Structure 1
Amino acid sequence: MYTPLKQPRLRPIALALASLFLLDASHQAHAQTQPEAQSEAKDMAKLDAVVVTVQRRKEKLQDVPVAATAITAADIDARGISNVADLASLAPNLQISPTPGNSTAVQIAIRGSVTTNPALSWDPTVGMYVDGVYVGKSQGSVFDLVDLERVEVLRGPQGTLYGRNTLAGAINLVTKKPSGQFGGQVSVDVGNYKARVTKLSLDLPSAGPLKVSVGGRTEQRDGWVKTAPGSSVTQLNNRDNQAARLAATLELSRDLVLDYRYDKTKVDQNSRFSQVVRSTVDKDFGFPSGIVVSTGGRVENAAVDGPSFERMNIQGHALTAEWKLNADNTLKYIAAKRDMDWKDALDLDGSPVAFAHTQRLSDFKQTSHELQLIGAAGPVNYVGGLYRFEDEGFTSNPQTFFSGGANFDSRYGFSTKADSVYGQADYRFADAWTLTAGLRHTSETKSTERYNAAVSPTGAVLAVIVPQGTAASTKFTATTPLLSLGYKLSNEVSVYGRYSEGFKSGGFNGEAGTVQEATTPFKPEKLKSFELGAKSTLLGGRMMLNVALFNNDSTDLQQAVFTATGAAASDIRNIGKANSRGIELEAVARVTRDFKLQAGYGYLQTRYKEYPDATGKNVADNVAVVHAPRHTLNLVASGTLLRTSLGELRGTADYSFTSSHYLYPYQLTTVNPALQTAANTRVDGVGLVNLRLSLSEIELGSQASGELALWARNAMDKQHIANKIDFGPGFGNLTQAYYVDPRTVGVSFNVRW
Structure 2
Amino acid sequence: MKAVSKSSEYKRGLLPLGAEASLFAIGVAMMAPVSAAAAEDQSDAPVARASIEDIIVTARRREESGQGAPVSVTAIGGQQLKDLASVRLSDIAQLAPSIKITTASGSANAPVIFIRGIGTITTAMYAEPAVGLYVDGVYMPRPTGNAFDLPDVERLEVLRGPQGTLFGRNTTGGAVLITTQAPSEEAGGRVELGYGSNSEMLVNAVLQTGEIGNTGFKAKFAGQLHKRNGWVNSPGFNRSDWGGNEKASNLSFALRGDIGKLTIDNRFRYSEIDSFTSWQVIGGTPAALTAYRNAAAANPSGPPFLVNTKPLDLSYRDPRLTGNATISGWGDVLTLDLLISDALNLKSITSYNKLDQMLVGHLGGSYVIGTVLNPAMPGNPKEPISVHASPYNPGHQTQFSQELQLTGDLGQLNYLAGLFYYNEDVKENVTTILASAVGSNFIRVNRSVTYSQNTKSWAGFGQLGFKPAFLDDRLELTAGLRYTKDDKSETSNTIQTTTTTSNTTQSGKDSWYNLGYSFSASFKFTPEVMLYGRVASSYRAGGFNNIALAAQPYSPEKAVSYEAGLKTDMFDRRVRLNATLYKTDYDNLQVNQFISNGTTSTNFIANAAKAAYKGFEVEGTAVLGQHFQVDGNVSYIDPEYKSYFFVVNGVLTDIKSTAHFSYVPEWTFHIGGQVKTSETDYGALTFRVDYAQKSSTDLASVDQFSPVVKNIRSGRDINLSARVIWTKIPVSSKLNLTAQAFVDNLTDQRFITFATDFTSLGTAVFNRPRNFGVRLIGQF
Same-fold call, TM cutoff 0.5? yes
Q: Distance in 2 between matches of 1:362 and 1:464?
A: 23
1:481-500 Cα deviation digits (max 9, x unpaired): 01111122222211111110
Q: Look up the equivalent residue of 1:4 and give its one-letter code.
A: S
1:274 maps to a residue whose letter is: W
Contact 1:89 1:658 in 2 (8 A): no
Q: Which residue of 2 aligns with 1:588?
A: 621
C-alpha separation in 2, matches of 1:173 and 1:157:
18
Q: Which residue of 2 aligns with 1:256?
A: 262
1:678–1:220 CA distance, 2 compared to 1 (3 A): closer
C-alpha distance in 1 between matches for 2:575 and 2:49: 13
Superposed displacement of residue 101, structure 1: 5.2
State yes or no: 1:611 paired with 2:670.
no
Q: Does 1:275 align with 2:280?
A: yes
Residues of 1 paired with 2:81 and 2:538: CA distance? 29
Q: Distance in 2 between matches of 1:47 and 1:267?
A: 36
Letter in 1 for 2:311: R
Cα distance change, pair 39–217 in 1 and its aligned pair in 2 (3 A): farther
Does structure 1 residue 226 correspond to structure 2 residue 230?
A: no
Closer/same/farther in 2, CA of residues 678 and 553 from structure 1, 3 Å limit: farther
In 1, the alpha carbon distance for the partners of 2:280 and 2:743 equals 25
> Partner of 1:216 in structure 2?
223
Pair 1:221–1:394, CA change in 2 (3 A): same
Q: What is the DSSP-based 3-state SS (H/G/I as helix, E as strand, rest coil) of the residue aligned with 2:139?
A: strand
- Residue aligning to 1:377: 410
Question: 1:55–1:161: 8 Å Cα contact kept in structure 2?
Answer: yes
- Return the offset for 1:522: 1.4
Q: For the Cα contact (< 8 Å) 1:227–1:233, is it kept in 2?
A: no
Question: Is this contact kept in 1: 2:170–2:540, CA < 8 A?
Answer: yes
The worse-fitting range, judged by mean Cα deviation, of 594-603 and 137-146 is 137-146
The match for 1:85 among 80, 85, 90 is: 90
Specify the alignment match of 1:598 in structure 2: 631
Q: Which moved more, 1:11-20 or 1:442-451?
A: 11-20
- The amino acid of 1:690's aligned partner reads S
What's the counterpart of residue 707 of structure 1?
Answer: 738
Paired amino acid for 2:581: L
- Corresponding residue for 2:583? 551
Aligned to 1:662: 698
Work out which of the residue numbers 302, 309, 325 in structure 1 matches 2:324: 309
Gap change, CA 1:654 and 1:20, over 3 Å in 2: farther
Q: Report deviation, 1:552.
A: 0.6
CA distance in 1, matches of 2:778, 2:595: 52
Task: Tell me the CA shift for residue 658 of structure 1.
Answer: 0.5
Cα deviation, 1:673-723, whole Å, max 9, x if unaligned, reads x75366345211222022210111113222111011111111221122211
1:428 aligned onto 2:467: yes
Query: Structure 2: which 5+ runs fail to align?
Result: 297-302, 369-383, 436-441
Post-superposition CA distance 1:426-463 (Å, at most 9, x none):
1012423211000000011001111111137xxxx942
Aligned partners of 1:563 and 1:571 also within 8 Å: yes
Q: In structure 2, what is the equivalent of residue 482 of structure 1?
A: 518
Query: What are the residue-to-residue correspondences of 1:5-84 with 2, within 5 Å?
Result: 6=9, 43-84=48-89
Match of 1:111 among 107, 110, 116: 116
**1:124 correspondence with 2:155:** no
Quickly say closer, same or farther: Cα 1:152–1:261, change in 2 above 3 A: same
Q: Distance in 2 between matches of 1:63 and 1:675?
A: 46
Query: Could you tell me how far 1:249 is from its partner in structure 2?
Result: 0.2
Per-residue CA deviations over 1:531-556 (Å, capped at 9, x if unaligned) read 01111111222111111110111001
1:75 & 1:37 partners in 2: Cα distance?
32
The Cα offsets for residues 88-121 of structure 1, whole Å up to 9 and x where unpaired, read as 2321111111123522322211112111223111
Match of 1:293 among 300, 306, 318: 306
Q: Distance in 2 between matches of 1:252 and 1:282?
A: 70
Q: Does structure 2 conserve the Cα–Cα contact (< 8 Å) formed by 1:13 and 1:687?
A: no
Structure 1: unaligned runs, 5 residues or longer? none
Structure 1 residues 36 and 168: alpha-carbon distance in aligned structure 2, compared to 1, 3 A threshold = closer
Distance 1:451 1:639 in 2: 60
Instruction: Name the structure 2 match of 1:464.
Output: 502
Structure 2 residue identity aligned to 1:650:
T
In the aligned structure 1, how far is the partner of 2:236 from the partner of 2:610? 51
* Aligned counterpart, 1:334: 349
What pairs up with 1:231-242 in 2 under 5 angstroms?
A: 235-242=242-249
Establish whether residue 525 from structure 1 lines up as the match of residue 557 from structure 2: yes
Of 608, 616, 624, the match for 1:575 = 608
Supply the distance in 1 between the matched residues of 2:115 and 2:593 (Cα, whole angstroms).
20
Q: Which residue of 1 aligns with 2:299?
A: none
Judged with a 3 Å threshold, the aligned counterparts in structure 2 of structure 1 residues 157 and 17 are, in CA distance, closer, same or farther, namely closer
Partners of 1:227 and 1:235 within 8 A in 2 = yes
User: Per-residue displacement from partner, 1:324-354 (whole Å, max 9, x unpaired)?
Assistant: 1113321000000111111211223322423
- Distance in 2, matches of 1:42 and 1:665, equals 57
Q: Residues of 2 paired with 1:249 and 1:641: CA distance?
A: 38
Is the Cα–Cα contact under 8 Å of residues 666 and 678 in structure 1 kept in the other structure? no
Q: Cα offset for 1:465?
A: 4.4
Q: After superposition, what is the alpha-carbon deviation per residue over 1:187-219, rounded to whole angstroms, capped at 9, x for unaligned?
A: 110112111101001101311211001111101
With 63-72 and 405-414 compared, the bigger mean Cα shift is at 405-414
Aligned residues: 726
C-alpha distance in structure 1 between counterparts of 2:492 and 2:224, whole Å: 38
State the distance in 1 between where 2:426 and 2:238 align. 33
Q: Are residue 741 (structure 1) and residue 772 (structure 2) matched?
A: no
Q: What does residue 682 of structure 2 align with? A: 646
TM-score of the aligned structures, taking structure 2 as reference length: 0.88
Query: How far apart, in 1, do the equivalents of 2:503 and 2:571 lie?
Result: 68
Q: Which one-letter code corresponds to 1:258 in the other structure?
A: I
CA shift at 1:84, angstroms? 2.0
2:373 aligned residue: none
Which residue is equivalent to 1:717?
748
Q: 1:265 aligns to what?
A: 271
- Counterpart CA distance in 2 for 1:552 and 1:660 is 22
Would the alpha carbon gap of residues 521 and 743 (structure 1) be closer, same or farther in structure 2, given more than 3 Å must change?
same
Give distance in 2, aligned partners of 1:736 and 1:37. 63
Q: Which moved more, 1:39-48 or 1:304-313?
A: 39-48
1:382-423 Cα deviation digits (max 9, x unpaired): 111000011011111111123882111211211100000000
Post-superposition shift, 1:180?
A: 2.9
* Matched-pair contact (CA < 8 Å) for 1:647–1:695: yes
Say whether 1:366 aligns with 2:399.
Answer: yes
Are residue 451 (structure 1) and residue 493 (structure 2) matched?
Answer: yes
Write the letter of the residue equivalent to 2:719. L
Per the normalisation by structure 1, the TM-score is 0.91
| 1:396 partnered with 2:396 | no
From the superposition, tell whether residues 296 and 505 of structure 1 become closer, same or farther in structure 2 (CA, over 3 Å): closer
Cα separation, partners in 2 of 1:372 and 1:10, compared to 1, 3 Å: closer
RMSD: 3.0
Structure 1 residues 601 and 230 mapped into 2: Cα distance closer, same or farther (>3 Å)? closer
Superposition deviation, residue 17 in structure 1: 11
Is residue 718 of structure 2 the alignment partner of residue 690 of structure 1? no
Report if the CA contact (8 A) 1:385-1:421 is conserved: yes
CA separation in 1, counterparts of 2:293 and 2:76? Answer: 54
State percent identity of aligned pairs: 26
State yes or no: 1:536 paired with 2:584.
Answer: no
Cα gap change, 1:349 to 1:200, in 2 (>3 Å): same
Q: Deviations over 1:30-82 (max 9, x none)?
A: x99x9999987964122222211111111001110011101112211111223
The secondary structure found in structure 2 opposite 1:655 is: strand
Secondary structure, counterpart of 2:536 in structure 1? strand
Change (3 A) 1:695 1:420: same
- Structure 1, 65-74 or 425-434: larger mean CA deviation: 425-434
**Equivalent runs, 1:151-170 vs 2, <5 Å:** 151-170=156-175
